[in-house]
Chains A and B, each alone.
Chain A
Amino acid sequence: MRTPDLLRFASQSLAGARNRTLLMLLAMSIGVASVVVLTALGEGARRYVVNEFASLGTHLLIMLPGRSETTGGAPPLFGETPRDLTLGDALALLRERSIARVAPLTAGNAPVSYGSREREVTVIGATDEFFPIRHLTIGSGRALPDIDPERAVNVAVLGSGLRRELFGNRRALGEWVRINDRRFRVIGVISEGGESLGQNLDDMIVIPVASAQSLFDTPSLFRVLIEARSGPDIERARRAAREIIRQRHDGEDDVTIIAQDALLSTFDNILRALTYTVGGIAAISLAVAGILIMNVMLVAVSQRVAEIGLMKALGAPERQVLWVFLVEAIMLAAAGAALGIVIAGAGILGLRQLLPAFPLAAPLWAPLAAVAVAVATGLLFGVLPARRAARLDPVRALTGR
């Protein structure tokens, strides 16, 4: 039998049993659609988190004072505390070629006031490099000036939320705010919507790092943000940074360096696994559809006993009868899968309208895998009915016994 004939014959018999075919298509398409939509949701969650991390800065290393791990060896005789991480340490890192930018940070809480309004907010001491590293954009005015980091200058950049609370509708640029007892001139306001990983950057104030150190009366830094020149440079930058600090701290390895990418890839892996799991659960509905296909095909075989007997009388060998019914099952599954992908596409479009901020998208493998599983299911569950048809005794089949 020629392939086009086989396909035409199968589609004619499917069209002949319209209700049965439509029900089967429905079952199969729901299975496929749920696999695709659920994996799209999982993938959307993954992308959402990845985007959040990216907004925190790419190729980013975070250095904090103190070791997060302990090593063996003799207990220290003298009480040994980790050395402070100083501005000098941070600036020394710039010697390394694989490091593009460094942002030393200090942080603390202090009351900030303008006129009679006062707010207790996070005060961040930083340099001009802080803004590009954290992907912060300036809404009005300008960022911190590019000056020697050791110099204390009394200027401040406000988060937009803090600006609103202190100034309301009034103009903030050029005004003086008070932090503790010191006065700082407002030179810029950060654009709205600066949020990363739940930490709201709207409610903060950024001042030069030297000013913050004197404000909080500490020579120590809270963090040093290090931006590597490129992705492959991250590991080199990390090793170099550790080595530079070790040299400056008399051979003590007393800082912790966290790679942003390592954190990111951990989240990435977790969410990817979640997507697979959800897709796998949805695949159960495909198996259910497969069992339905088997039932429907079994009914079809018993309703078409005489036709099967006839095919055999006309010289169709068992293998051919088997294929006729198998092709029907596979066509049902494939058509159901195609319909399911259309439904899933519509569903994803609809969800995008509902959740515009959520980057919903089915990964390419999802529809491919769903269709492959659907066709395999049709094949697998089509075998039993097809074999039953192929093995019918033509004499009994023709006499309807």
Chain B
Amino acid sequence: MITLDHVERDFVVGDEVVHALDQVTLEFAAGDYASVMGPSGSGKSTLLNVLGLLDRPNSGSYRLQGTETTGLPEERRAALRRSHIGFVFQAFHLVPRLTAADNIALPMMLAGVAPGERDARVAEVLASLGLEDRAQHRPDQLSGGQRQRVAIGRAIVMKPSLLLADEPTGNLDQHAGNDVIALIESLNAGGITLVVVTHDKAVGRRAPRHIRMVDGRIDKDSPHAHA
């Protein structure tokens, strides 16, 4: 479903070229659950951004559900992002002036989904998150765990096939963090492909597949996927 083939992503820092991704070759099957770990600056976030079509590799190939994405114009990449990919961020990135329901509805609003359909879908998602009674609360009226659950709701409302989580528990206490991980794992059980970038070993270990990165390279991928 997802293949990265010799993907290279370089940044120029000062007069030094940093290989954030150095000839990365990876494959994810539909329904995979992988954690990506590694020291700071090892390229974990860059990998996630490339997978999420937010960043474009300098060279190599990235195929998402059979589509070669590297050469696509920005407009098409945005469309793929909208329909196939959900993001969960460490900092939640909720829009502060919108209610929980409106934050969840945001991707559908941007996509031009009709209001009736939107409301039905938002109600469905809120129910699955156990946040029905928080629908009209704004982010500053929610706890950290509730905020991240709203953000997850926003990530899955368009029914993406790939969920990318960047330190999803980084801003949460242990208890709320466990709830959030349990939630995204239940989504994975429902068939969504899940890639979690984390520093937290406890979180990382829960994934059946562990990818370890060092200096932009895949240091370890176990159990090794059929590459």
Contacts and interface: CB of A to CB of B under 8 A. Distances in A.
Given A1-B110, A315-B107, A317-B74, A395 B49 contact: yes
A307 to B, nearest CB: 6
A315 B111 contact: yes
B79 A317 contact: yes
B93 A9 contact: no
Contact of B54 (A9, A318, A319, A394): A394
Contact residues of A: prevailing secondary structure: helix
Given A1-B109, A1-B112, A306 B93 contact: yes
Contacts of A1: 109-112
Interface in B104-131: 106-107, 109-112, 114-115
Contacts of B78: 312, 315-318
B19 interface: no
A277 interface: no
A281 interface: no
Interface stretch (B82-90, B182-190, B194-202): B82-90
Interface string A77-115: 000000000000000000000000000000000000000
Interface stretch (A11-19, A118-126, A266-274, A338-346): A11-19
B82 A314 contact: yes
Given A316-B78, A318-B74, A12 B110 contact: no
A312 B54 contact: yes
Given A312-B78, A315-B82, A315-B83, A12 B109 contact: no
B176 interface: no
Contacts of A181: none
Contact of B110 (A309, A311, A394, A395): A311
14 contacts: A1-B111, A1-B112, A2-B112, A5-B109, A5-B115, A307-B93, A310-B95, A312-B54, A314-B107, A315-B78, A315-B83, A315-B111, A315-B158, A395-B55
Given A314-B107, A316-B82, 4 more contacts: A12-B98, A307-B93, A315-B110, A316-B78
What are the 3 closest A-B residue pairs judged by CB atoms, nearest first?
A315-B82, A16-B97, A317-B78
